[in-house]
């Protein structure tokens, strides 16, 4: 998926035809911001083996290629790291409209490349295969929070989510079992993301605290890639992290996120992005005095957090940067960052906290001294009757419990 751009320090990730821009080819890329030189597009087409990643020798007929100068747009949210997410645009000409592959190069004398990307989204596909898809930016560091991941997937099923996409750099053995289970079930697509083979990615978003070449293992790159990957596959996308659940609060029924967002869309027909406050539920604070309702002994052998035992959230103090996550119509978004869309074809609407917000069960960087500093939220407990048996079923089916 990730390929080097020849004669440069840059990387290209995936290519898509953007019908909103008169058929321009958009190449999701990662560029070194202080070494940006002129780049060129090599648009090629071949009538054979058009599914191949390289149309060169050994892959069918010799490709017919056309070289043109590229336009580069570096996304504004690069967090001051040396490398940043970018779009490289290749204008389609009458002779290249049927291009099947593209290569980016810094050498204007190039007539052929060993590294090509297949151009996707060649046609607008309707009706959509999915109503609602979740894009999870990336797993890294042998991530092994298996219990929380599995529980989150099952909650999403209850809320009507049909597809989850995860970009995976490295995951632990227990999470690998969960990935395998949901892939086999058909709910999950795992996209390999070997960014650490090309760059030294940061584990955070502040270069002085978490130095590296690229912000948070390329989080913004994967989110943008997911938007275009599912632009004509899903009506809505939720851009989220693996330890987060978006939860509507305006109904006591099991929420259906499709109906919920449809209602928002009716109220705000010009909106392409809905933003929701991200509220931290610290893993260091546990509701363990529940009479054993949610502390099943067999679950204790599975690594990770039990979402039913973390029901206290920490409000923002007014001085902190308030984080948000988004549900989008992907056809109305051009570029996105983590907490807001950067370029859109519609309005961005901030949804009130009491209507819907993100439950983010994680280790809080700021120490929580007193439980009285937190707010209690038992929303997940409303689904107790459904959740415990489906959690147990999935834990056994995935092999996490024998």
**Residue-wise pLDDT tens digits, 349-370:** 999 999 999 999 998 656 665 6
Extract the tokens encoding 364. Answer: 């809080």
Task: Please enumerate in sequence order all residues whose Cβ is within 8 A of that of 143, keeping only pairs 6 or more positions apart, or say none.
Answer: 170, 171, 172, 175, 242
Average pLDDT score over residue span 68-76: 96
Phi, psi of 394 (to 5 degrees): -70, -35
CATH architecture of 3-120: Sandwich (2.60)
Task: Indicate whether 344 pLDDT > 90.
Answer: yes
Q: Where are the domains of the chain?
A: 3-120, 130-397
Average pLDDT score over residue span 222-234: 98
Cα R_g (the chain), whole angstroms: 22
pTM: 0.94
Strand positions, DSSP E, 91-187: 101-105, 117-120, 130-139, 163-168
The answer to whether the beta carbons of residues 134 and 237 sit under 8 Å apart is yes
Distance CA 8, CA 24 (A): 23
Task: Report the SS3 class of residue 224.
Answer: helix
- pLDDT in the model for residue 368: 65
Q: 192: exposed, middle or buried (C-beta count within 10 Å: 0-12, 13-18, 19+)? A: exposed
For domain 130-397, give the CATH number: 3.90.550
- pLDDT in the model for residue 365: 58
């Amino acid at each position: 998926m990730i390929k080097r751009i020849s004669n440069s320090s840059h990387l290209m990730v995936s290519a898509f035809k953007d019908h909103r821009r008169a058929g321009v080819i958009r190449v999701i890329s990662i560029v070194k911001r202080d070494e940006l030189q002129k780049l060129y597009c090599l648009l090629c087409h071949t009538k054979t083996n058009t599914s191949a990643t390289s149309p060169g020798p050994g892959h069918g007929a010799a490709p017919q290629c056309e070289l043109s100068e590229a336009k580069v747009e570096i996304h504004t949210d690069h967090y001051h790291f040396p490398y940043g997410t970018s779009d490289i645009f290749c204008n389609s000409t009458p002779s290249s409209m049927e291009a099947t592959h593209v290569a980016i190069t810094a050498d204007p004398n190039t007539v052929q490349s060993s590294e090509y990307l297949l151009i996707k989204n060649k046609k607008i596909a309707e009706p959509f295969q999915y109503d609602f898809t979740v894009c999870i930016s990336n797993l890294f560091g042998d991530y092994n929070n298996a219990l929380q991941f599995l529980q989150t997937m099952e909650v999403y099923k209850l809320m009507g989510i049909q597809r989850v996409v995860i970009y995976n750099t490295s995951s632990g053995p227990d999470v690998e079992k969960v990935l395998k289970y949901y892939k086999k079930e058909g709910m999950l697509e795992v996209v390999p993301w070997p960014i650490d083979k090309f760059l030294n990615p940061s584990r955070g978003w502040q270069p002085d605290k978490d130095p590296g070449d690229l912000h948070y293992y390329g989080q913004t790159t994967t989110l943008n890639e997911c938007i275009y990957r599912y632009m004509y596959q899903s009506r809505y996308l939720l851009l989220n992290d693996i330890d987060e659940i978006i939860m509507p609060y305006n109904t006591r029924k099991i929420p259906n996120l499709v109906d919920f967002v449809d209602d928002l869309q009716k109220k705000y027909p010009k909106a392409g992005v809905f933003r929701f406050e991200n509220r931290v539920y610290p893993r260091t604070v546990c509701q363990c005095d529940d009479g054993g309702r949610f502390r099943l002994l067999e679950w204790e052998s599975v690594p990770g957090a039990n979402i039913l035992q973390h029901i206290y959230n920490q409000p923002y103090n007014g001085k902190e940067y308030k984080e948000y996550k988004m549900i989008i119509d992907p056809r109305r978004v051009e570029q996105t960052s983590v907490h807001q869309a950067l370029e859109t074809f519609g309005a961005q609407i901030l949804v009130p906290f009491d209507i819907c917000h993100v439950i983010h069960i994680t280790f809080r960087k700021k120490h929580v001294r007193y439980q009285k500093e937190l707010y209690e939220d038992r929303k997940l407990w409303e689904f107790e009757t459904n959740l415990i048996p489906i959690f147990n079923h999935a834990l056994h089916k995935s092999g996490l419990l024998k």
